[in-house]
Each structure stands twice: as structure tokens, then as C-alpha cells.
Amino acid sequence: MAEVINMPRLSDTMEEGTLAKWFKKVGDEVKEGEILAEIETDKATMEFESFHDGVLLHIGIDEGSTAPVDSIIAVIGSKGEDISSLIKGDSTPEVKEEPKVEVKEEPKVEVKEEPKVEVKEEPKPITQDQPKSESNGRILISPLAKKLASEKGIDISLIKGTGDNGRIIKRDIDSYKPSNYGHFTQPKPHVKESSYEISNNTMRKAIAKRLSDSKFSAPHYYLNIEMEMDNMISFRQQFINTQNIKISFNDIIAKAVALSLAKHPKVNSRWYDDKILFSEHVHLGVAVAVEDGLVVPVVKFANSKDLPEINSEIKDFAERAKNKKLNPSEIEGSTFTISNLGMFGIESFTSIINQPNSAILSIGAIIQKPIVKNSEIVVGNTMKLTLACDHRTVDGATGSLFLKTLKDYIENPVSILI
């Protein structure tokens, strides 16, 4: 018996999917467990396996097309099986065109026109207005105008006077521009307006919808803090030298954030209309930029993992995110999110909360600048962090206490290992 294959719901927020690629065509045999297609969701591109044996009898959506969840994308059954009743709602009825009545036109009588005699006009001589001069050939010009023309190197025979009887006066010299003005200036090339457009894919639509919902439903407010990073820089280098693992500043901050959240569960919370859910575990979302937008893979139980484990997971997530190979379970369930633009030289920024989380931390670049230590001005390294909070769940004092704990961990990173 034929089996209908519907567009699967591959994530909790997925409303539609794009069929990125078919690995089978109509008439091909399909075995259970074989990859049938590649589907692009709002968060990643997933390989979709067949759960049935048989022959691919029908494809309901072309590559590159989008369809809502649960709509028919394929039918698998026995060769020659009648599936018309299954795909009735999925097919488009054929529209027959009415036969066109052929109308014969009467032959047109060709009328030959008499050839026209072309009359060429004699070219008219080009005349230029010349300055008036006296009968003896002397050009009428005021003494002041003559002096100015001499100073500017202007040939007065080329100037048309506007004074009495065509006399050249001062204003004629001042306003004169030679006919070859700008001759040595290279003409600018003709520049045309240019633009192009691309269709919004499933991921971009989902990002637009979720961030719009978050920004306009959660009352955001922001807390800013600047931290000294000299100890962090030394700690990282010592860790790399002793453990031979190239951890990043982001890895250390992620661990510090996870430990701080464990001490401040109110920041590690979710808002619902009838309750607030406080999570004692920390599932840390780490924003990763990809070609089509942004994905947030989740380091599960981050507060219980050491730096090498966090480093390994974040690095693996980043590589697979760029190839759209993350699984739905790896991008769901975050309780808090961090977003780092420091590697792009951004000193500080604000992020939109990744709902249903109550907060998100924006991490800026490490900047070297003069700072005050022990009442003296010295050169030091600092970093700015911005915490965006949902005021329904996180009050100002709550967010501030979280940042204070985080500051202690970052400025004294050895405490992370204790």
C-alpha cells in the first residue's frame, strides 16, 4: 500500500520547509533508511530519510520550492500502483483551452508609393558673434577691462561686449569662459544605477519573524559593563602552553557565563503567560554567523563542562553550522545566549533576546587603552559586555548582580578552574 510522505516538522519553530535537493527521482527504488531528500528548515539543512521500502511514485514539490509542514512532498508505493486518490488534493487540475477559430485575413493589395525626390539643402555658413570694432579695426574696450584681460591672458577678440555700442567692459571679462573650458579634464564615465535581489529563504524568514516577535513583545533593557582583561590574557596563554589546547577568549567567557548563571537562576529563566520557569541547569546558546543568517547551537550543561570540552563543542558546532549540518536537537533548548562580535573589531553592541530566554550577553572586542591602576595611569586591556534583559523576568538589580559575579570570574579567571 502506498505511503504519503509529508513535509516533516524538523524543529519546534518550523512552519514551512524548502526542498533543497532530491536524491531520488520518480521511478527509483527506495529502501528504508536511505536519504530521500535534503530539507532546509528555519535553522539548518537536514537530510531526510525514508521510513518505507518501495518505489518513488510521486514528487509533490520541486527542488528550491517551499511548502508548509505536513503538506505532501512524495508518495512511495508499489510499481504501477494507482495513487490518484492520495494526491488528489496535491495535484493541479489540467485546464483545457478552447479551440481557437482561425480567421483568414483578406489578402492586402500592395500599393507602391512613388519614390520621393530628396532635396539636399545647401549648408549654411556658421557665423559667430564677433565683438564690434571701429571702422579702423580697433576693438571697443574700456581701459579697466583691457587691463584685466591682459592680466588674465584673455584674447579680447573672442569676447562679445555688452556695453554701449558693443564695448567690452569689466563684467564681460569677469564672466568670460573660453569655449574649450575644461578641455584637459577627463570626462567622468557614465555611471548607471545598479541593484539585485534574492528571495528570502526559510532561515531568513524565520530570523525576521522570531526577532520581530522578541523585540516587540519582550520589554528589553540593557546593562553595560567594562572589564579588565590583562589577567584573562595571561591565563589563556598559560593554559595553551600547559594543556596544549588552543582555547579562545570566547571559550573562557562561555564557561564564566555558565558558572555565573548557575548562581543566578533568575537570569537563566523563561517567561510564560502564567508562570516563570527557572532553570538550574545551563544550556548555553552560542550565536554563530553563517552565510544565510544566524544559528544558535547549544552547549548542553555548560556549567558542568570544563574548558577543553566547551572548546571542542563550540568549534565543532561552528564548522557544521557553516555547512548546514547541525541536528535539530543541537539548536534547541537554550536557557541563555551569548553573541560575540569582538573578532570583527566591534567594541560594544546590543543584541535581541533569543526567546524564550530572558537575557542575552553581547561580547565586544578586547581594546588596549590607558586605565587607572593603583591611582596611576597605565596601559591596560579592557572589554565591554552588554546584557539585554527581559524586564518581565529579570529586574535591574538581578541583572546587575549577575554581571558582578561574571566580572569576578573574568578578571580572576583562575577561579573558573576551582
Nearest CA to 166 out of 150, 142, 190, 188 is that of 142
Q: Report the alpha-carbon distance of residue 384 to residue 363 in Å, rounded.
A: 7
User: Phi-psi category of 359—alpha, beta or left, where left has phi over 0 and alpha has psi -120 to 50?
Assistant: beta
Neighbours of 316 (CB within 10 A): 13
Do 351 and 359 form a contact (C-beta atoms < 8 A)? no
Asked whether the CA dihedral 265, 271, 277, 283 is positive or negative, the reply is negative
Q: Are 86 and 75 in contact (CB under 8 A)?
A: yes
Helix (H) or strand (E) holding 37: strand 35-40
Query: Which is nearest to 353 in space by CA: 401, 388, 394?
Result: 388
Question: Is 270:358 a contact under the CB 8 Å cutoff?
Answer: yes
Amino acid at 44: A
183 is annotated as an active-site residue = no
Say if residue 360 is exposed, middle or buried (CB neighbours under 10 Å; 0-12, 13-18, 19+): buried
Kindly list the catalytic residues: 391
